[in-house]
Amino acid sequence: MNLQSIKSRFGIVGSSPGIERALGTAVRVSPADITVLVRGESGTGKESLPKIIHHQSARKHGPYIAVNCGAIPEGTIDSELFGHEKGSFTGAHEARKGYFEEADGGTIFLDEVGELPLATQARLLRVLETGEYMRVGSSKVRKTDVRVVAATNLDFDAAMVNGKFREDLFYRLNQVPLLLPPLRERGEDIHLLFRKFTADFSERHRMPPIRLGPEAVELLQRYPWPGNVRQLKNIAEQISAIETERFVDADRLLDYLPELPRRDLAKREIQADDGGTGMNEREILYKLLFEMKSDLTDLKSLVLKMIQDGKIDAASSEDHALVNRVFGEQGGTEVLRLPEHAGAKPTSEGWSESTSTGAFDDADEVEETLSLLESERELIRKALSKHGNRRKQAATELGISERTLYRKIKEFGLK
């Protein structure tokens, strides 16, 4: 079966390189009876790949059981996975098979495997290595023939360092790693997915589908989608249910994206200008600071030209205040200081006395050094102050990750 047939069968939309690579790898490893670990952000559709692997394998006629490890309380997870004997704990009125016993000969999908407690991780490791397990409350060793496919959005490096996930279990699960890209990296697929979701909704509820204008499509593709495909589907169905006008432009679409992070859009534009190579947070911040400095320099040049052309009156207190604000110390470079006397005129040297007034001092030209590191430190300090030292909100304000913010707080010695 080719990839297009598999996409049609399992309802997968898109042809971005990341999706094609993940699907191709899943199909190739399906016949090999080895463990697969699917990784990706929440909402990327990780549950689709285990189904494909099962149905393309020799176990396709056996059972397929999906278990959400994060939804089972810690006190009952061992019983759910491995079963228990009658009387093994309060409420165990009869013996019960666990998922590994029920899935014998088939495939078990452990979603959110990173949420498993350490004791259960040890039991799972034994099953993966020997196929053996014991029910809760029993000393009898049982055997099972199960293929395990796991999925998680856990940061394993941090979890293993913090002792929250066993390193040996990680390597046993990670025999074949599959990575599903976030929706923001699937720009060419976003509109296709939106159209599918709105078409499905329209068919269910017998109404015309939503159509997007060109600018709305561009906005849809530039939005970072922190909730990934799940969030896109939610918004597509909201629009389909609420809008009476079936043509939606960018302004109307923006109403459904109230938390549109414009900083992230700016970063995506910068990365596009950079040829798609991508930059880290510090490089992005530096580029933005340089652009701000360039804009300020252009503004000063424009005001100076207006003064020289007589469009701004040096004797006017209102114009005088405007010029001093522009040429004040807020931009990093002070080009000139307007004298506090009427009758002064701009020259290439600075400001000179007019023929009808007394002597003037020449304007000082001061070049201040713009320290990017200091500017970055000040931005972080202000963001922390603004949000009462709540780092999560400060990181969102700055458009960087919490981990990066923690590192920079330590680097700059901020309290």
Task: Give the per-residue pLDDT at 210.
Answer: 93
Residue-wise pLDDT for 347-404, tens only, equals 444 444 444 444 434 444 444 444 567 777 888 888 888 888 888 888 888 878 777 7
- Is 190 in the same domain as 239? yes
How many structural domains compose the chain? 4
- Is 392 in the same domain as 339? no
Task: Give the per-residue pLDDT at 324.
Answer: 63
- Is 377 in the same domain as 343? no
Task: Give the per-residue pLDDT at 28.
Answer: 95
- Is 26 in the same domain as 173? yes
Task: Give the per-residue pLDDT at 392.
Answer: 81
Identify the CATH number of the domain in which residue 207 sits: 1.10.8.60
Task: Give the per-residue pLDDT at 380.
Answer: 86
Identify the CATH number of the domain in which residue 401 sits: 1.10.10
Single-letter residue type at 143: K
In the chain, what is the straight-line distance between the N-terminal and C-terminal CA atoms, in Å? 59
- 3-state secondary structure (DSSP) of residue 11: coil
- Is 233 in the same domain as 304? no
Identify the CATH number of the domain in which residue 149 sits: 3.40.50.300
| Domain presence at residue 269 | no
Q: How many angstroms separate the Cα of 261 from the Cα of each of 248, 304, 377, 381?
A: 21, 36, 22, 21
Low-confidence ranges of the chain (pLDDT < 50): 262-263, 266-267, 270, 273-278, 329-370
- Is 32 in the same domain as 122? yes
| Domain presence at residue 365 | no
| Domain presence at residue 193 | yes
The domain containing residue 379 runs over which residues?
A: 371-412
Single-letter residue type at 347: T
- 3-state secondary structure (DSSP) of residue 247: strand
- Is 287 in the same domain as 155? no
Task: Give the per-residue pLDDT at 293.
Answer: 63
**Across-strand partners of 176?**
36
- Is 160 in the same domain as 117? yes
| Domain presence at residue 340 | yes
Strand 107-111 to strand 147-152: parallel, antiparallel, or no bridges (unpaired)?
parallel
Contact 80, 125 (CB under 8 A): no
- Is 156 in the same domain as 252? no
- 3-state secondary structure (DSSP) of residue 64: strand
- 3-state secondary structure (DSSP) of residue 322: helix
Task: Give the per-residue pLDDT at 285.
Answer: 63
Of 135, 166, 181, the residue that ends a domain is: 181
- Is 173 in the same domain as 80? yes
| Domain presence at residue 251 | yes
Of 352, 386, 402, the residue that ends a domain is: 352
Task: Give the per-residue pLDDT at 312.
Answer: 62
- Is 94 in the same domain as 40? yes
Of 198, 228, 260, the residue that ends a domain is: 260
| Domain presence at residue 268 | no
Percent of the chain residues past pLDDT 90, beyond the cut: 54
| Domain presence at residue 118 | yes
Residue-wise pLDDT for 13-41, tens only, equals 999 999 999 999 999 999 999 999 999 99
Task: Give the per-residue pLDDT at 92.
Answer: 86
- Is 24 in the same domain as 165? yes
